[in-house]
Structure 1
Amino acid sequence: MTPLTRAFRSRVGGALAAVATTAALVLAGAPVAQAEDVRSRQWYLDAMKAEEMWKVSTGKGITVAVLDTGVDSTIPELRGGKVLSGPDYVDGEGDARTDAADVDRHGTDMAAYIAGSGAGGGLKGLAPDAKILPVRVGTYDGKGTFGLAGSLSKGLRYAVDHGSRVINISMQTQFYGKQEAELREAVGYALSKGALIFAGTGNDGEELDVHPAVVPGVVAVGALGTKGQVADFSNYGDHVGLAAAGDNMPGRCQADKTRFCTKFGTSVATAIASASAALIWSAHPDWTNNQVLRVMMETAGHNGPVPSKYIGFGGVRPAQVLLEGKGDPGPADVNPLLAARGQASPAPGGSAVPKNSPSPESTGAGGEDGRSKESQAAPEAAAGSGEGGFPLWAIVASAVAVVAVIGAVVAVSVRRRRA
């Protein structure tokens, strides 16, 4: 299983590709001084009107399962009983709450983006009173998160059987033979038990089908940048359901968890979408998974026709539901995403998986590396991460800024070489 981040692939040639890759890594991995106010860098919370929403809902009463690398429950923002005990399907049947032994950080970050308290200068989660059920289904090796689809299938079933309404999968999986059918069956089982499943589309910046995001019934989540534009690394395709903030996000550094690095990826976007669902569900506990998803789709921000293969039905905007009362929950037993695509809800026996899946070498959904160089955004895909879309000039300005950074990296490289 791989979290969603793939090695950069150049389309313009060797030297320029090397420079662009270096610039991307610098932008994504630069540590933030610990003294800096991390909350002030969580731009997406302000864009989404989080402070106002928290007066209505904080995610209380909702358990979000984080199927990932495990969760370190000793960091300040995740202390106080926020993290439940969950299984480890990688190294046996141990506890996925990895505590101080966590060296992966990926699952820990996702948990903090969803339910962090902000204590001790840590991250403030979008749904700060939600509970986190960690289910370890993969490991991190610096390039991606790896595991087996069998672990993910077990994790899905465990999560819904232990009270999780929202399931966050900021990873992609590799599978062979019967594991494909097992994964579809597990998704069908989770949906039949009333859960919502969110999964990242991947960070190749290409039109790719990655699993489990492409499995019918899973809400595939793309990433948006700070200006509301589609992030250049975000994979796209007809299976994309929603989009959320996923660029220039603070997160704890992998090597030193006391410091913060800049993160990006559809991993992060998936966590924001999951937290949005938790906020809405907490405020409307009698709604079904289908009704929560329907209002998320109806209130999503987008420019142009929907669905778009870049952002699906748009960028998540829970404030539209919680503050303005928008969105019709509709019928309780009809999956709106599948209905919009003319698909039947997958039964526990599974359903067909779309073709054109990536090769086993393809890696994954988010982290401190793997940014694709070329933006795949289209005009109709410029949806706002908070309350609306942004014009083309904002996208052009972002591109100019990236070119400036690349130039700076080249200059530094030349000076170092001369020295």
Structure 2
Amino acid sequence: MPISIRAARSNAQRSLVLLTAALTCWAGTVPAASAEDVRSRQWYLDAMRVDQMWKETAGAGVSVAVVDSGVDSSIPELRGRVLPGKDVASNPTKANEDAEGHGTEMASLIAGTGSGGGIQGLAPKAEIIPVKNPRKGPFAADELMGKSIRYAANSEAKIINISMGASNSASEAPDTRRAVKFALSKGKLIIAATGNDGLKGNLSAYPANIPGVVGVGAVDSSGAVTKESTHGPQVALAAPGDKIPGRCKPRTTFCSTHGTSTASALVSASAALIWSKHPSWTNNQVLRVMMQTANKPKGKIPSRYIGYGIIRPAQVLLDGKGKPGPADVNPLLEREGATTPDPSPSASKSGGAQPQSSDSNKPASDQRAGKKRTAGAKASESGNTGLWIALGAGAAVVIAAIAVVMVRRRGNQH
């Protein structure tokens, strides 16, 4: 039965929630950070063994379409990394201009070179194709997202990163669903943030909830799911999404960002590294080995909090793990590696944090950050044995020192 226009307008206006990372700015008299300072705050890079991975590949030959607010190609770390793109709005502006800054941050996390004191990307030799989505007006959300994905699907990009979306069911986004199907048929790997609504209703959002899309949740440096990370059966993988450095406004200073947006960008960058190393693999094969080598959740797989686990690209690039399997079978749609049907919303919340080294085979945590461990949990199940991907003691000291000297204030969401 069709709903009334008034009801449709109310639902659409209520559902348009942008999946962007909130920024916590470093205020006071702190000067613009040097490249060394910013790099030291990117705790996840050393934890993921990037220096070793970059000896194998830094993402060369792989392009990532960033569907977002545009990408500012003039900042030092993105100079030479941004290809021509498109603004899908009816009154377009330049795709390499970004008034909001969110798309620029995602691009930097993926392919930033660290030049000029800027952000160091996880795949610094990958290239970015900006697909500018103005994100204005609830009735345009589905149409513009569909246009964005179709443009990216027709581009040379192998990976489509979408750190934005709208809190609606997939059935209410017909243009986006058709575009996703088209992009998958073109061999693209679509990675999307699930959202930061975990404490505000936990509303499912598209395109992350569309079958075949890799929905990404966020974890902190201990491996615990962040409180804000939207959870549910749409979560396929998880990645760092807490205390991630990014540029403030003006873009001469830096902020601490958080959210599933940053996690999505890091999953896209990890995929770029793997695909660069194995250029003959298909989107399905790249995704399959990412799922196989992820730090698995404790208990049921996939969990509603970290899906098939926390990304560990070093397992593929340095340790040679993961079997690509069939080229034309989407492992998400086939539920490869699943050990049980999707658990209920109340399942898999407990079990204790499981911080791991990158080589650990112990299960990762799918407990939400801030929750107490299950009473009587064994030390082996919830012990504090080190950070989830081998953060060294020295790095932990640096982070603690930064926390003491930096004065921070809450910023607005992009």
TM-score bin, normalised by smaller chain: 0.7 to 0.9
Residue type of the alignment partner of 1:229: A
Moved more, 146-155 or 62-71: 146-155
Alignment correspondent of 1:401 = none
Unaligned stretches of 5+ in structure 2? 1-15, 339-347, 366-380, 388-402, 410-414
Q: Which has the higher contact order (CA 8 A, sep 6+)?
A: 1
Give secondary structure in 2 for the equivalent of 1:315. coil
2:37 matches 1:3 = no
Counterpart CA distance in 1 for 2:139 and 2:250 is: 22
* C-alpha distance in 1 between matches for 2:32 and 2:181: 44
Distance 1:159 1:287, change over 3 A: same
**2:33 aligns to what?**
35
| Structure 1 position 202, deviation (Å) | 0.8
Q: In 2, distance between residues paired with 1:35 and 1:202? A: 29
C-alpha change, 1:223 and 1:159, in structure 2 (3 Å) is same
Residue type at the aligned position of 1:3: L
Query: How many angstroms does 1:146 deviate by?
Result: 10
Cα distance in structure 1, aligned partners of 2:67 and 2:357: 24
Which whole-Å CA distance do the structure 2 matches of 1:342 and 1:298 have between them? 8
What is the rounded CA distance, in whole Å, between the counterparts of 1:61 and 1:394 in structure 2?
39
| TM-score, normalised with respect to structure 1 | 0.74
SS state at 1:189 partner: helix
**Matched residue type, 2:198:** G
Out of 99, 105, 114, the position equivalent to 1:103 is: 99
Cα pair distance change 1:195/1:312, threshold 3 Å: same
Instruction: Say whether the 8 Å CA contact 2:64–2:126 is kept in structure 1.
Output: yes
Equivalent residue, structure 1, for 2:237 = 242
Equivalent residue letter for 1:103: A
CA distance in structure 2 between the partners assigned to 1:61 and 1:307 by the alignment: 31
CA distance in 2, matches of 1:179, 1:381: 36
Counterpart of 2:283 (choices 280, 289, 305) is 289
Matches within 5 A, 1:267-278: 267-278=261-272
1:33 deviates by: 3.6
Structure 2 residue 184 is matched with structure 1 residue 185: no
Taking the TM superposition and a 5 Å limit, the aligned residue runs for 1:79-118 are: 79-80=79-80, 82-90=81-89, 92-98=91-97, 102-118=98-114
Find the counterpart in structure 1 of residue 343 from structure 2: none
AA in 1 matched with 2:217? G
Identity %: 51
The 5 A counterparts of 1:64-79 are 64-79=64-79
Give secondary structure in 1 for the equivalent of 2:72.
coil
Tell whether the 8 Å contact from 1:59 to 1:279 is kept in structure 2 after alignment: yes
4+ residue runs over 6 A deviation: 175-179
Partners in 2 of 1:96 and 1:280 — Cα distance?
27
Which of the numbers 155, 161, 182 marks the counterpart of 1:162? Answer: 155
Equivalent residue number for residue 261 of structure 1: 255
For residues 73-108 of structure 1, what are the alpha-carbon distances to aligned partners after superposition, in whole Å with 9 as ceiling and x for unaligned? 00000002x11111112352443111xxx3201000
User: What do residues 150-179 of structure 1 show as CA deviations (whole Å, max 9, x unaligned)?
Assistant: 111111111121111100000012679996
> How far does residue 208 in structure 1 lie from its aligned partner after superposition?
3.2
TM superposition shift of 1:34: 1.3
SS of 2:237's partner is strand
Partner in structure 1 of residue 295 of structure 2:
301
In structure 1, what is the Cα distance between the partners aligned to 2:293 and 2:255?
A: 32
CA distance in 2, matches of 1:63, 1:199: 16
1:193 and 1:152 map into 2 onto residues whose CA distance is 17
> How many Å separate the matches in 1 of 2:334 and 2:169?
29
| Matches of 2:170 and 2:149, distance apart in 1 | 19
Per-residue CA deviations over 1:29-73 (Å, capped at 9, x if unaligned) read 334641351001000111111110000011101010000000000
Alpha carbons of 1:140 and 1:183: their partners in 2 closer, same or farther (altered >3 Å)?
Answer: closer
Alignment pair present for 1:125 and 2:121: yes
Is the counterpart of residue 194 in structure 1 residue 184 in structure 2?
no
Cα distance in 1 for residues equivalent to 2:337 and 2:383: 36
CA distance in 1, matches of 2:193, 2:136: 16
Corresponding position: 1:52 with 2:52? yes
Question: Alpha-carbon deviation of 1:210?
Answer: 1.1
Looking at structure 1, the residues matched to 214 and 53 of structure 2 have their Cα atoms a distance apart, in angstroms, of 23
Match for 1:115: what amino acid?
A: A
Q: Which residue matches 2:350? A: 378
8 Å contact 1:230–1:383 — kept in the other structure?
no
Secondary structure of 1:157's counterpart equals helix
The alignment partner of 2:226 has SS state of: coil
1:322-354 per-residue CA deviation (whole Å, 9 max, x = no partner) reads: 0000000000010001101799xxxxxxxxxxx
Equivalent residue of 1:226, what SS? coil
3-state DSSP of counterpart to 1:30: strand
1:358 aligns with none
- Decide whether aligned partners of structure 1 residues 277 and 176 sit closer, same or farther in structure 2, where only a CA change above 3 A counts: closer
**Is the Cα contact below 8 Å between 1:168 and 1:198 reproduced in 2?**
yes
Give 1:28 deviation, angstroms: 2.5
1:244 partner SS: strand
Shift in Å at residue 3 of structure 1?
A: 3.0
Give yes or no for contact 1:63–1:133 (8 Å, CA) kept in 2: yes
- Mark the CA change 1:381 to 1:177 in structure 2 (over 3 Å): closer, same or farther: closer
Instruction: Say which of 209, 215, 238 aligns to 1:214.
Output: 209
Q: 2:399 aligns to what? A: none
Residues 146 and 275 of structure 1: CA distance in aligned 2, closer, same or farther (over 3 Å): farther
Given that 1:4 and 1:202 are in contact with CA atoms closer than 8 Å, whether structure 2 keeps it comes out as: yes
Q: 1:220 to 1:387 in 2, by over 3 A?
A: farther
C-alpha contact 1:28 1:261 (8 A) present in aligned 2 = yes
Q: Measure, in 2, the Cα distance between the counterparts of 1:196 and 1:381.
A: 30
Gaps of 5+ in 1: 7-24, 344-375, 398-404, 413-419
User: What do residues 189-224 of structure 1 show as CA deviations (whole Å, max 9, x unaligned)?
Assistant: 000000000111111225431111101011000001
Alpha-carbon contact 2:297-2:306 (below 8 Å) kept = no
Q: Secondary structure at the match of 1:172?
A: coil
TM superposition shift of 1:256: 1.1
Give me the CA root mean square deviation.
3.2
How far apart are the structure 2 equivalents of 1:387 and 1:208? 34
Instruction: Indicate the residue corresponding to 1:227 in structure 2.
Output: 222
- Cα offset for 1:260? 0.1
